[in-house]
Amino acid sequence: MPAAPEPIRAFLASRRIAVAGVSRDPKQPANLIFQRLRATGTEAFPVNPNADRVEGVTCYSSLGAIPGGVEAVMVATAPAASRDVARECVALGVKHVWFHRSFGDGSVSDEAIALLREHGVQPIVGGCPLMYTGRVDPAHGLMRWVLGAMGKVPK
């Protein structure tokens, strides 16, 4: 499998990453991403304005509520909510933002992408960190290959 593109390497090199869109359901994509980031040694923070605890840890209502801030944000929300997350990233100076997406729209919002680019942030659009972190499971390895063949792997 080819090496990850530089924006993905920079994102994954971040030591403090927020995952916006975690759920009380541990099987949701945002939760799986959160779990994998923590398992690979990243200090990960769940963000959901409707939950106090997720995955056994404190869940934050917003990015700004995370003590000490974060270097990167994984966006795994509905597209309408991703616009608000992008606005908060800009306000907080977050430079690494990744929008989760596999075959559908995922969390991608054209307005959110444009807002970040207007403020000098080059977002990662599509794909999933599970396609790149640690030991990649067969399903995410296959997804990376299929999305790559379709031209939908982030560059």
Q: What is the pLDDT of residues 115-151, one digit of tens each?
A: 999 999 999 988 787 777 767 666 655 566 666 666 6
Tell me what pLDDT residue 152 has: 60
The answer to whether residue 87 scores a pLDDT higher than 90 is yes
Q: Where are the alpha helices (DSSP H) in 93-126?
A: 110-118
> Which are the contacts of 133, defined by CB distance < 8 A and separation ≥ 6?
12, 36, 37, 40
Task: Give the mean pLDDT of 84-92.
Answer: 97
Q: How far is CA 14 from the centre of its chain?
A: 12
**Helix, strand or coil for residue 70?**
coil
Tens digits of per-residue pLDDT, 15-37? 999 999 999 888 888 998 899 89
DSSP class per residue in 27-56: TSHHHHHHHHHHHTT-EEEEE-TT-SEETT
Average pLDDT over residues 2-11: 82
Q: How many CB atoms lie within 10 A of CB 46?
A: 24
Domains of the chain: 6-148 (3.40.50.720)
Residue 138: predicted pLDDT: 63
Query: pLDDT at position 1, please?
Result: 45
pLDDT at 105: 66
Tokens 């040694």 sit on residue: 41
